């Protein structure tokens, strides 16, 4: 049972460490002038040490001697996780600084493009004026001499205007690069915030394992084993949902160039969901939110966990509807979640409704906003509702219209 309780350590960190590495591979090279931090590399080394220690704990056979050795390993893990948290905070500060630099860069480029536009406008006005010839000038004997003087000047003005247009194109490309980098930095900040929440949970689990080793040496371990088993089941269920959505993301990357004739699929490909933040309906009518997104106390495990969705109390057999158009990514039963429907809304956005009494849709079916997904179950299991962006849980209350 103790080995099973240790298994949750890997399930908690697997998704976080994988998405962390993938995210930094995605960032790639940065424009000139933006520092590439060594903190990411250092964070990776700390995470590797943590993974090695966790694997060692799993492979140990249970005995009085090993319990003492494992206690030392857990204490070292707690220290490494504190180091990881500090490195993460420094990385967050570094990202904040880079965002400030990008904002300054964008302001500078905007002003410079404005100056170039004014310069081009002046050149064009001068060119237009140089072509204006009055009837008196045409009849003048000196008209041809004047024209000879104006022709080189017009050529210089035309060259200046052409050069200015090319300069604006270059500045615009630089501006777009800066904006894209800022977007990727914001995504990394979101991943860091998600990591910090998971670290809090991991520290609680390691503390429970530490007490478990101490209790084992004192022959008083059964209560903490039960707590950790309940927690393991909860985290395994969450990890299963995250793995499912990770598979959906991979499949979406392969299918994103295919065309579809259905209205729901067109909306998915156009990335409409992200524009609906704060305007989405609840999946049920007349429900009451009884458990919020964020850190909550889990009575079954006796630990504080980070809740990735909200619970909505509603009557039995009430219709549950799609909050936006999309495609059914999963429909069926999952441990701890009961009957579940996951809707892929496109652009890596998903909504999840769990603890249903009945589901009415099958995987791969397209749905429109407000279409029926299923019905609520009994009153002892409130409807559970999540929204995820790139497999990162976000607060649903910030997306729905209250």
Shared-domain flag, residues 253 and 356: yes
* Domain endpoint, select from 195, 220, 245: 220
Token pair belonging to 82: 């504190």
Shared-domain flag, residues 239 and 348: yes
Shared-domain flag, residues 334 and 212: no
Shared-domain flag, residues 118 and 242: no
Segments forming the whole domain that contains residue 253? 234-402
**What are 169-180's pLDDT values in tens digits?**
888 888 888 888
Residue 143 pLDDT exceeds 70: no
> Pick the residue with more confidence: 68 or 137?
68
Return the pLDDT at 129.
76
| Average confidence score pLDDT of the chain | 76
Return the pLDDT at 23.
38
Determine how many CB atoms are found less than 10 A away from the CB of residue 89.
Answer: 13
Helices (H), 218-297: 222-255, 263-269
Residue 9 pLDDT exceeds 90: no
Shared-domain flag, residues 201 and 244: no
Return the pLDDT at 333.
94
Nearest to 203 by CA among 5, 340, 9: 9
| Range of weakest confidence among 115-124, 223-232, 324-333 | 223-232
Residue 265 pLDDT exceeds 60: no
Residue 295 pLDDT exceeds 90: no
Shared-domain flag, residues 126 and 175: yes
Would you say residue 16 lies in a domain? yes
Would you say residue 330 lies in a domain? yes
Give the CATH number of the domain where residue 360 resides: 2.70.70.10
393: helix, coil or strand? Answer: strand
Section 78-106 average pLDDT: 84
Give the CATH number of the domain where residue 210 resides: 1.10.287
Would you say residue 229 lies in a domain? no
Shared-domain flag, residues 89 and 138: yes
Share of the chain above pLDDT 90, in %: 23
Residue 258 pLDDT exceeds 80: no
What is the distance between the alpha carbons of residues 235 and 375, in angstroms, rounded to a whole number?
A: 26
pTM of the model: 0.54
Return the pLDDT at 399.
95
Nearest to 318 by CA among 358, 289, 280, 281: 358
Which residues lie across from 306 on neighbouring strands?
295
Token pair belonging to 387: 């929204």
Return the pLDDT at 33.
38
Shared-domain flag, residues 290 and 387: yes
Return the pLDDT at 61.
45
Confidence band, pLDDT 50/70/90 cuts, at residue 373 = very high
* Domain endpoint, select from 167, 188, 220: 220
**What are 191-224's pLDDT values in tens digits?**
877 777 777 777 777 777 777 767 666 655 566 6
Return the pLDDT at 352.
97
DSSP tally for the chain: helices H, then strands E: 7, 12
* Domain endpoint, select from 220, 245, 266: 220
Confidence band, pLDDT 50/70/90 cuts, at residue 125 = confident
| Range of weakest confidence among 186-195, 200-209, 368-377 | 200-209
Shared-domain flag, residues 265 and 150: no
Section 157-165 average pLDDT: 82
Share of the chain above pLDDT 70, in %: 72
Token pair belonging to 162: 């052409």
Shared-domain flag, residues 160 and 20: yes
**What are 237-246's pLDDT values in tens digits?**
777 887 787 7
DSSP state of 323: S
Would you say residue 227 lies in a domain? no
The count of structural domains within the chain is: 2
């Amino acid at each position: 049972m103790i080995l099973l309780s240790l298994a949750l350590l890997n399930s908690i960190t697997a998704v976080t460490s994988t998405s962390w590495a993938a995210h930094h591979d995605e960032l790639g090279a940065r424009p000139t002038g933006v520092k590439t931090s060594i903190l990411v590399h250092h964070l990776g080394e700390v995470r590797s040490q943590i993974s090695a220690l966790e694997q060692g704990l799993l492979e140990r056979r249970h005995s009085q001697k090993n319990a003492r050795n494992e206690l030392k390993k857990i204490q070292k893990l707690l220290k490494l996780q504190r180091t990881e948290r500090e490195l993460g905070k420094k990385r967050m500060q570094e990202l904040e600084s880079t965002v400030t630099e990008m904002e300054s860069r964008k302001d500078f480029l905007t002003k410079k493009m404005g100056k170039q536009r004014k310069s081009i406008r002046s050149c064009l006005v001068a060119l237009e004026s140089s072509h204006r010839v009055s009837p008196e000038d045409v009849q003048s004997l000196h008209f041809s001499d004047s024209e000879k003087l104006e022709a080189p000047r017009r050529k210089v003005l035309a060259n200046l205007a052409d050069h200015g247009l090319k300069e604006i194109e270059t500045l615009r490309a630089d501006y777009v690069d800066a904006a894209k980098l800022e977007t990727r930095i914001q995504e990394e900040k979101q991943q860091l915030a998600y990591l910090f929440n998971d670290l809090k949970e991991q520290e609680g689990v390691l503390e429970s394992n530490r007490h478990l080793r101490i209790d084992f040496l004192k022959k008083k371990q059964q209560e903490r084993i039960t707590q950790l088993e309940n927690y393991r089941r909860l985290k395994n269920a969450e990890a299963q949902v995250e793995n499912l959505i990770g598979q959906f993301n991979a499949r979406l990357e392969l299918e994103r160039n295919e065309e579809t004739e259905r209205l729901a699929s067109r909306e998915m490909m156009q990335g409409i969901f992200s524009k609906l933040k704060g305007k989405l309906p609840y999946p049920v009518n007349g429900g009451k939110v009884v458990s919020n997104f964020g850190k909550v106390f889990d009575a079954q495990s006796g630990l504080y966990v980070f809740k990735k969705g909200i619970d909505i109390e509603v009557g039995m057999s009430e219709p549950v509807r799609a909050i936006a158009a999309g495609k059914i990514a999963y429909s069926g039963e999952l441990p701890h979640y009961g009957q579940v429907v996951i809707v892929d809304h496109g652009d890596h956005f998903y909504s999840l409704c769990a603890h249903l009494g009945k589901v009415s849709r099958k995987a791969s079916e397209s749905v429109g906003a407000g279409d029926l997904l299923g019905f609520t179950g009994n009153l002892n299991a409130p409807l559970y509702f999540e929204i995820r962006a790139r497999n990162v849980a976000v607060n649903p209350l910030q997306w729905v219209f209250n």
